């Protein structure tokens, strides 16, 4: 069987574009909440509730990021989505009294007033992406959230951020988590690409050094999730199953595999340890995180490498596709190409809902749609990026690649920072 790269085949590339277009169409109008922010959607694409729904900051910020991508692609209707989300982040999520951004709000104000590192990472991502499409709030939000991250969350001694605070910035618990730092790494790279300010990239490199070069390598490139405030591993931690599942989460190994290669490329390929680490993370994920019988990645594993919660979620599959695409570019091999195909085969067969649109966010052990953790189809971010990442150079973020493509195709177009 020929292992010529699928990503170079016109049909495959068009298939990916079609899937991305279907995702845009599923979320674009259905998600729009006229009272601000966005609805979470059920499996049919209807709002789960229209009666004063809670809007979490990751969902709002991710919609801004994804429809900034839509704007750069030239999708009509994308700019109003970006503006709607940016206005909601600035006017409703932002705490004008104490600074920072509330984790969740409803029509009456903050419904969860905690200040989470995870949420602030996505505000930074949204502001960075919005800057590339020229949104008028982008610079103010970028400066605001950068100051908050630097003065409230960043811990210089460890080279990473703290996890969470109360609304008045009093600490909550001596917990440190890799997930918030991983998404901040993604956002810091986006901010660097949007502004050319090196301090963003420096922080991303420090986080990666802590989480991957040191802590993941110590555990055989299993990315540990939970730590104390000295960044010592806590194998006993059991938190919220959606955001802080116990044990290890193979989907995050895959996500880091791509992010590490992106960081290596943006940093001028200086960090020699990064490509090998990206390969090791991916190899471990497919070796012990993949269900050899039915396909798909287990949600989380215990410290004996056995499934702790054997659900198959959409986002590890999406991140696996993105990681495989990056590896096929930077470390081409039959192994990476075959896994790129394996992952898309499972996505196409089990996760894409051809009947109602969108992707099933959760499958049970028998690969049937289930709703243990996720009630419907609330997220475009992971699936959209999985569809589009393979279509563009593996040298930076999707938004940066799209801007570069526009700059190359349209002579005289205003240039963005490199």
DSSP-based helix, strand, coil % in the chain, nearest 5: 50, 10, 35
- pLDDT of 278 above 80: yes
- pLDDT of 66 above 50: yes
Centre a 10 Å sphere on the Cβ of residue 202 and count the other Cβ atoms it contains. 13
Phi and psi for 309 in degrees, rounded to 5?
Answer: -130, 100
Active site residues: 252, 382
The C-alpha angle 149, 151, 157, rounded to 5 degrees, equals 90
Q: 106: which 2 tokens? A: 């409803």
C-alpha to C-alpha distance for 347 and 386, rounded to whole angstroms: 10
pLDDT at position 410:
58
Domains in the chain, please, with CATH? 6-399 (1.50.10.10)
Report in angstroms the alpha-carbon separations of 144 from 94, 96, 109, 148, 152: 10, 11, 20, 6, 12
pLDDT at position 240:
79
The C-alpha angle 52, 57, 62, rounded to 5 degrees, equals 115
Phi and psi for 268 in degrees, rounded to 5?
Answer: 80, 20
Mean pLDDT of 208-234: 96
C-alpha to C-alpha distance for 188 and 194, rounded to whole angstroms: 10
Average pLDDT value over all residues in the chain: 95
Mean pLDDT of 246-254: 96
- pLDDT of 381 above 60: yes
pLDDT at position 402:
95
- pLDDT of 1 above 60: no
C-alpha to C-alpha distance for 329 and 341, rounded to whole angstroms: 14
Q: pTM for the full model?
A: 0.96
Which residues are registered as beta bridge partners of 106?
A: 109
pLDDT at position 338:
97
The pLDDT tens digits of the residues spanning 318-334 come to 999 999 999 999 999 99
The closest of 93, 64, 91, 94 to 80, measured between CA atoms, is: 64
pLDDT at position 414:
42
The pLDDT tens digits of the residues spanning 126-143 come to 999 999 999 999 999 999
Label each residue of 339-408 as H, E or C. Answer: HHHHHHHHHHHHHECCCCCCECCEECCCCCECCCCCCCCCCCHHHHHHHHHHHCCCCCCHHHHHHHHHHH
The model's confidence at residue 415, banded by pLDDT at 50, 70 and 90, is very low
- 109-146: burial string, b at 16+ Cβ within 10 Å, e else: ebbebbbbbbbbbbbbbbbbbbbbbebebbeebbebbb
């Amino acid at each position: 069987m020929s292992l010529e790269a699928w990503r170079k085949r016109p049909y495959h590339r068009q298939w990916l574009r079609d899937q991305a277009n279907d995702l845009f169409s599923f979320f674009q109008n259905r998600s729009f909440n006229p009272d601000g922010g966005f609805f979470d959607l059920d499996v049919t694409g209807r709002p789960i509730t229209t009666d004063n729904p809670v809007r979490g900051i990751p969902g709002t910020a991710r919609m801004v990021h994804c429809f900034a991508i839509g704007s750069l692609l030239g999708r009509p209707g994308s700019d109003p989505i970006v503006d709607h989300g940016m206005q909601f982040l600035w006017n409703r999520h932002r705490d004008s009294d104490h600074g920072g951004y509330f984790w969740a709000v409803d029509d009456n104000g903050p419904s969860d007033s905690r200040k989470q590192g995870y949420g602030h990472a996505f505000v930074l991502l949204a502001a960075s992406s919005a800057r590339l499409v020229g949104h008028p709030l982008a610079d103010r939000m970028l400066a605001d959230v950068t100051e908050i991250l630097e003065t409230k969350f960043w811990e210089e001694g460890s080279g990473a951020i703290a996890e969470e605070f109360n609304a008045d910035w009093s600490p909550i618990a001596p917990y440190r988590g890799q997930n918030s730092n991983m998404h901040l790494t993604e956002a810091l790279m986006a901010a660097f690409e949007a502004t050319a300010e090196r301090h963003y990239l420096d922080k991303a490199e420090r986080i990666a050094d802590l989480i991957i070069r040191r802590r993941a390598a110590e555990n055989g490139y299993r990315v540990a999730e939970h730590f104390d405030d000295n960044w010592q591993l806590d194998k006993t931690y059991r938190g919220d199953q959606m955001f802080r599942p116990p044990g290890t989460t193979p989907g995050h190994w895959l996500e880091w595999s791509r992010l590490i290669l992106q960081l290596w490329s943006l940093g001028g390929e200086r960090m020699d340890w990064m490509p090998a680490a990206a390969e090791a993370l991916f190899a471990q994920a497919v070796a012990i995180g993949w269900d050899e019988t039915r396909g798909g990645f287990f949600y989380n594993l215990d410290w004996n490498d056995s499934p702790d919660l054997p659900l198959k979620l959409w986002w590890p599959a999406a991140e696996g596709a993105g990681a495989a695409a990056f590896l096929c570019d930077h470390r081409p091999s039959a192994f990476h190409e075959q896994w790129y195909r394996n992952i898309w085969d499972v996505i196409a067969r089990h996760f894409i809902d051809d009947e109602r649109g969108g992707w099933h966010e959760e499958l049970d052990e028998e690969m049937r749609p289930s709703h243990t953790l996720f009630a419907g189809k609330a997220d475009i971010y992971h699936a959209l990026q999985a569809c589009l990442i393979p279509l563009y150079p593996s040298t930076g973020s999707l938004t940066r690649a799209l801007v570069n493509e526009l700059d190359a195709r349209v002579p005289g177009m205003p240039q963005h920072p490199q």
